[in-house]
Copies of this chain bind each other. A is one copy, B any other.
Amino acid sequence: MVKYDKLVKNAAGRLVPTIVNGIEQIPYLGVGKFKPTGRKSAPPIASCADYPDDGNKTVPTLKDALVKAGLKDGMTISTHHHFRNGDLIANQIFDIAHELGIKNLRWFPSASFPCHEYLIKYLEDGTINRIEGSMNGPLGKFTSQGKMKGLGVLRSHGGRYQAVQDGEVHIDIAVIAAPTSDPFGNANGVNGPAACGLLGFALADSQYADKVIIITDNLVPFPCIPWQIHGNYVDYVVKVDQVGLPEKIISGTTQITKSPDRLLIAELTAKFCDEAGIIRNGFSYQAGAGGTALSIGIYFSEILKERGWKARFIRAGSNQYPVKMLEEGLVEYILDGQTFDLEGVRSMRENPGHVNTSPFTSYNYHGKGNFATQVDVVILGATEVDVNFNANVVTHSDGLLLHGIGGWQNCLFSKCTILPVPLFRDRMPVIRDEVTTLCGPGELIDVIITERGIAINPLRKDLIEKLKGSNLPIKTIQKLKEEAERICGVPEKPQFTDEVVAVIKWVDGTIIDSVWRVKEEGR
């Protein structure tokens, strides 16, 4: 298998391979430029005649299920990340694969977390060939150091659905950890001791994988209500003692910021949205789970309360703050893609207005539209932004791959995309001449808000017009960059070798950039 071949310049001027892990690729063509002409992936037709008459699909162990599913060398195994750093299943799968002497697997998680550092030994011994999915923290560093056998492929949540739907990634076996399931495989994330909220990231896996295994610690009699995963897609059900650690779904970033600079950024963002006329009765927004984003949500909620308004919906990553707004009647619906704390889980179980969504409904670019375009304003983070409003979320300025894309690329299609970022981090300016890794094209990024000023993308003449005469510190992005460099100096570029270690997919499956192996000391 060719890890990758010759590099070509894509429409964003980035060097990208045209073959990745043996599969031909399309270089990024520009926003909305690539038009798919094929047909969706077509799974084999099943027959009830091959499934138990009484609907009971349970098998004793995960190993039994994997063996029955035909686990063998070179297969693609998928998992979801609703347990985030509390996932207990992915590591077990590869322990079993290793025990069975299976080699060369592709792990296709919807995201990986520090708890998966454990898998480095299997990446080293060849049990796992590569990860296609976010490579957060230790796995990202491992990849950046050029140690992964295959090439990493990073996709957004929507891009992951798109890749499976379009047949670009064929999943042989999907293993879906479920807080509650019945013996038929109907499963949900809202009930049971390990309730994690929802299972939307496993939707594509359930629909398109050849074999689907549900693993649960809470087996209930048929029917499991609600069913977020349809048992009609499921082959085997395994009961274990513990399927995940729900207390670990809480990310460290879901606390409101206490930094005065970041609070200022949050305040400026809320004021900007207000003056731009974005905040209105019936508006909608999506704010991530970072500390600044949470504070912005609180500003929004105060404005709504003051004026007696109500938001139509919040797209979330939910946690206690949107839940409070829902329960106080400040928003009609939470359209939730993943719960970031246990209040989110509780609310999804109790509130009919707290609705579970999936990458299909919210983010899939190869659908007949998706929800992302219908959000009035989205607040996102970035590790770097450049003077053309291009942004990076996966690598740091030292070149290390440390984050996944998540829903970030998909959200850029909202009616207004704002990146509230500090002007510098650890004396490293965030606004650069060019981003280390291109994740989002500048034409989709409307506003950069820092503690020292706000830059509006020149393409958004409407916003520039609306903010004329504002007291807000509106500046050009060049001006913001200069201010940062005046304080911190001009930053050095990260040092790379000429080896590609991973690629970044755009929402349409084309390759928007490459991630390069970092040059380590002594090399």
Contacts and interface: CB of A to CB of B under 8 A. Distances in A.
Contacts of A222: 312-313, 374
Contacts of A227: 361
B47 A365 contact: yes
A260 interface: no
A355 B48 contact: no
Interface residues of A, number: 65
Contacts of A38: 44-45
A508 interface: yes
29 contacts: A32-B47, A33-B49, A37-B45, A40-B42, A40-B43, A40-B45, A42-B42, A46-B366, A47-B365, A48-B369, A53-B373, A54-B373, A55-B369, A184-B374, A212-B368, A221-B282, A223-B312, A223-B355, A223-B371, A225-B355, A227-B361, A230-B360, A230-B361, A231-B361, A232-B370, A233-B367, A233-B368, A234-B368, A352-B352
A290 interface: no
A413 interface: yes
A416 to B, nearest CB: 12
Contacts of A166: 45
B41 A42 contact: yes
A253 to B, nearest CB: 27
A404 to B, nearest CB: 22
A231 B369 contact: yes
A224 to B, nearest CB: 10
B374 A46 contact: no
Contact of A361 (B45, B232, B282, B353): B232
A372 B164 CA distance: 30
A335 interface: yes
Nearest to A282: B221
Contacts of A185: 368
Given A36-B47, A373-B55, A508-B47, A367 B335 contact: no
A51 interface: yes
Interface in A304-324: 312-313
A39 interface: yes
Nearest to A410: B48
Which 3 pairs show the lowest CB-CB distances between chains A and B?
Answer: A32-B49, A39-B42, A42-B42
A229 to B, nearest CB: 12
Contacts of A39: 42-45
Interface in A43-100: 43-55, 57
A235 interface: yes
Nearest to A365: B48
A523 interface: no
Given A40-B44, A352-B352, 9 more contacts: A39-B43, A45-B165, A47-B366, A48-B368, A223-B371, A231-B369, A232-B361, A233-B368, A234-B368
A373 B184 CA distance: 11
B225 A48 contact: no
Residue among A185, A227, A374 having the largest count of chain B Cβ atoms under 10 Å: A374
A184 B40 contact: no
A185 to B, nearest CB: 8
A368 B49 contact: no
A356 to B, nearest CB: 11
Contacts of A55: 369, 371, 373-374
Interface string A279-304: 00010000000000000000000000
Interface in A392-421: 413, 415
A116 to B, nearest CB: 29
A152 to B, nearest CB: 25
A227 B166 CA distance: 24
A367 B232 contact: yes
A223 B374 CA distance: 9
Contacts of A223: 312-313, 333, 335, 355, 371
A258 interface: no
Interface in A339-368: 352-353, 355, 360-361, 364-368
Contact of A360 (B48, B165, B232): B232
